[in-house]
Amino acid sequence: MAVYTEVSDDELRDFMAAYDLGNLLSCKGIAEGVENSNFLIVTDYSPFILTLYEKRVNEGDLPYFLGLMEHIADQGFTCPTPVRTREGEALRRLAGRPAAIVTFLTGMWPSRINTDHCAALGKALAEFHGAGADFPMTRPNNLSIGGWSALFDKIDRKAAGEVQPGLAEDIATELVFLQDSWPDDLPRGTIHGDLFPDNVFFENNTLTGFIDFYFACTDWLAYDIAVCLNAWCFEPSGSFVPARGRALLQAYQSVRKLTDAELAALPILARGAALRFLLTRLYDWINHLPGALVRKKDPLEYRRKLAFHQKVRTVADYGVQ
């Protein structure tokens, strides 16, 4: 979440008039994240999240994202759900951007991750995969192996070298390796694609739901696990915590058993997930918009994580017996 597009009071009031949500009491921009403009709006009925979808989001994908949230909520999985106008519209326009209001999910994301968080995440991730199994819409993962070279081509090599000497060369080498090694026949389905801690809410160590489905797509289910290993199972120092990896994977498998092929592919998928976030963070770091209410994220965090995965040989290194 972030704020790139400002909304005037008059624009917001006119927009809200189409909903049966009570009187608007307040609106505050949310700084976390990097993709869209997000606001916490409070009415005398309830708090809600208002999202304006920025240029990096394909407007044609929005029915998929909103439809997925409604579908998994209907399956009993807790997540924000789109709020429709009196005319039944979930997607509208505000300040020149596509926009939607979704319900507010209670809870907070964990600032200090422990093994209980990872176990709860693993179980919920498998349940999410189950809830999305019969979702009828599909969307390609444009930020998987097929899209990384194109994204790398948009990154200024000199600027990358200023972030870290030799970084562009390291990325180029890793791209070649992953293109040669990427799996081509794993269980496939709907994935979240961006399950960082700030997209998973807890109340007193009880997981209350997932948010921010705007990278959701159709891909290897195990790739979602690889994203989570990167996002949840490292210390700030960059060291991997096997107990967290073990908790995540065991809890996931208590709901959905991973195939032997998925377990064997996990080190490669984890390398790919690390490279994906290294590339997107590097691009955003170099092309940061001055004045945007957004927190820049360090791309080198994912260079360090990639270095760990490059040394992994089997899934045992992630804590699996």
pLDDT tens for each residue of 256-278: 999 999 999 999 999 999 999 99
Report DSSP letters for 135-190, one per residue: -----B-TTSHHHHHHHHHTS-HHHHHHHSTTHHHHHHHHHHHHHHH--S---EEE
Residues 140 and 14 in one domain: no
Residues 18 and 94 in one domain: yes
Average model confidence (pLDDT) for the chain? 94
In a domain, 314, yes or no: yes
Cβ–Cβ under 8 Å, residues 178 and 317: no
Q: Where residue 300 sits, what CATH number does that domain have?
A: 3.90.1200.10
What pLDDT score does 1 carry? Answer: 41
Domain boundary among 103, 138, 155: 103
**Distance set, CA 72 to CA 128, 161, 279 (Å):** 7, 43, 30
Dump pLDDT digits (tens) for 17-43: 999 999 999 999 987 655 789 999 999
Our count of domains for the chain comes to: 2
What pLDDT score does 154 carry? Answer: 96
Cβ–Cβ under 8 Å, residues 3 and 37: yes
Share of the chain above pLDDT 90, in %: 88
Dump pLDDT digits (tens) for 70-117: 999 999 999 999 999 999 999 999 999 999 999 999 999 998 999 999
**Side-chain half-sphere exposure of 242, counting CA atoms within 13 A:** 9
Domain boundary among 103, 131, 158: 103
pTM as predicted: 0.92
Residues 95 and 122 in one domain: no
Instruction: Note down the domain range covering 289.
Output: 115-318
Name the pLDDT band for 296 (thresholds 50, 70, 90). Answer: confident
In a domain, 4, yes or no: no
In a domain, 109, yes or no: no
